[in-house]
Amino acid sequence: MRWSLAILRVSAPIILALVAPQASASPADRGLAFARAHCGRCHAVGPRRTSPMREAPSFRTLADHFPVGDLADVLVEGVDRRHPAMPDFRLTPADAADLTADLEGLRHGLRP
């Protein structure tokens, strides 16, 4: 029993340190993290780089040429393939809202 309490006392601060930054992140920050993890292999998710896959538009281009306010609904309903390498996917409403917040920040120059 004493060992269990000792382990809990040592591990609890570590677990909180790992979880707390994600919980306090803004929607745009969570959206950027999602974009980097799930989209960055093909799309440039930053404001200046080109996409690793030539056929994949940069997020900067999407933010400038697509009505970002409508994007959350599209992402939840599902995005069909736009080219052979594009996967079919659907986002949760929370992930779609976060990604949309990131694109709004990118569009307005609020993101490095």
What per-residue confidence (pLDDT) applies to 95? 95
CATH number assigned to the domain comprising residue 88: 1.10.760
- DSSP annotation of 53: S
pTM of the model: 0.72
Q: At what angle do helices 68-77 and 93-107 cross, to 10 degrees?
A: 150
Task: Give the pLDDT of residue 8.
Answer: 46
Question: CA–CA separation, 39 vs 7, rounded Å?
Answer: 38
Amino acid 109 reads G
Residue at 74 is within a domain:
yes
Give me the domain span that covers residue 95.
26-107
Q: In this prediction, what percent of the chain has a pLDDT beyond 90?
A: 36
Confidence of residue 106 (pLDDT cuts 50, 70, 90): confident
Contact 72, 90 (CB under 8 A): no
Q: What is the pLDDT averaged over residues 30-59? A: 92
More confident residue, 109 or 59: 59
58 occurs within a structural domain: yes
- Contact at 8 Å (CB) between 31 and 25? no
Residue 87 contacts residue 102 (beta carbons within 8 Å): no
Domain membership of residue 100 (yes or no) is: yes
- State the pLDDT at residue 42: 92
**Is 59 a member of any domain?**
yes
Whether residue 1 lies inside any domain: the answer is no
Within a domain: 96? yes
Work out the number of other CB atoms within 10 angstroms of the CB of residue 5.
9
Domain count for the chain, please give it. Answer: 1
Residue 2 located in a structural domain: no
Please state, rounded to an integer, the average pLDDT across all residues of the chain: 80
Structural contact between residues 43 and 61, judged by C-beta atoms closer than 8 angstroms: no
